[in-house]
Amino acid sequence: MGEEREGDEELLVPPLNFAMVDNGIFRSGFPNSANFSFLQSLGLRSILYLCPEPYPEANYEFLKDNGIRLFQFGIEMCKLMAIDNAEWTGAFCKHSRGNNPRSIENVRNHPVLIHCKRGKHRTGCLVGCLRKLQRWCLSSIFDEYQRYAAAKARVSDQRFMELFDISSFKNLPLSFSSTRSSANR
């Protein structure tokens, strides 16, 4: 009977560099069709795509079929250091642009997956900036970044995270979790 059950189970394969960032917030590299069942198991409401290239049709159809919203913040890697603080924070903080409906902090978007091509640089920088908002120390932020970027880690990415200015953000939660009470939504 155990063998029959194993044959009937669907294989759940996470995307490259997949991890939980906070409750209801995930990160990864670009998902492909082999990852779709896994993504369905997360019950995603939104995907925050950090690349400037158009989203592939097969992936877009998967999102449409599963009621998942796509928010694209197309960031050219070579221009990352030139992005201004307010522009970058618009991707994840509703305080930066009023009540930004596309932000990570907006719990109506949770569960949300943040991804770029490999889940290393753009995603790593965004998560690193989020960690600064959560008051992580830089050494822990860099350790997490290096875990995913590995041999491709860039000093310029770490410098970007180091220079990210959180002084304009007041009363931010230490968690961007979707498990906060519904009174806060």
For the segment 33-61, the average pLDDT, to the nearest whole number, is 95
Residue 28 sits in a domain whose CATH number is 3.90.190.10
Read off the tokens for 53.
């290239």
Rounded to an integer, what distance in angstroms lies between the CA atom of residue 35 and that of residue 172?
Answer: 33
Distances (CA, A) of 84 to 22, 49, 171: 25, 18, 21
Residue 102 has pLDDT above 60, yes or no: no
For the segment 107-135, the average pLDDT, to the nearest whole number, is 91
Confidence band for 133, pLDDT divided at 50, 70 and 90: confident
Return the closest-CA partner of residue 79 out of 116, 52, 48: 52
Confidence band for 30, pLDDT divided at 50, 70 and 90: very high
Read off the tokens for 110.
């949770």
Residue 155 has pLDDT above 60, yes or no: yes
137 in any annotated domain: no
Residue 10 has pLDDT above 70, yes or no: yes
Residue 44 has pLDDT above 90, yes or no: yes
Residue 174 has pLDDT above 50, yes or no: yes
Rounded to an integer, what distance in angstroms lies between the CA atom of residue 47 and that of residue 33?
Answer: 15
**pLDDT, position 57:** 96
22 in any annotated domain: yes
Domain count, the chain: 1
Q: List helix spans (H) across the chain.
A: 2-8, 36-42, 57-65, 85-89, 122-133, 138-149, 155-163
**pLDDT, position 87:** 58
**pLDDT, position 89:** 56
Q: What is the 3-state secondary structure (H, E, C) of 121-158?
A: CHHHHHHHHHHHHCCCCHHHHHHHHHHHHHHHCCHHHH
138 in any annotated domain: no
184 in any annotated domain: no
165 in any annotated domain: no
Q: What are phi and psi of 24, to 5 degrees?
A: 80, 5
181 in any annotated domain: no
**pLDDT, position 106:** 73
**pLDDT, position 98:** 42
- Where is pLDDT greater, at 90 or 165? 165
Domain that holds residue 10: 2-117
**pLDDT, position 111:** 95
Q: What are phi and psi of 30, to 5 degrees?
A: -65, 120
12 in any annotated domain: yes
- Where is pLDDT greater, at 3 or 159? 159
Residue 144 has pLDDT above 90, yes or no: yes
Instruction: Tell me the pLDDT tens digit for each residue of 53-90.
Output: 999 999 999 999 999 999 988 777 655 555 555 555 55
**pLDDT, position 75:** 77
Residue 51 is among the residues annotated as catalytic for this protein: no
Catalytic residue among 51, 93, 116, 129: 116
32 in any annotated domain: yes
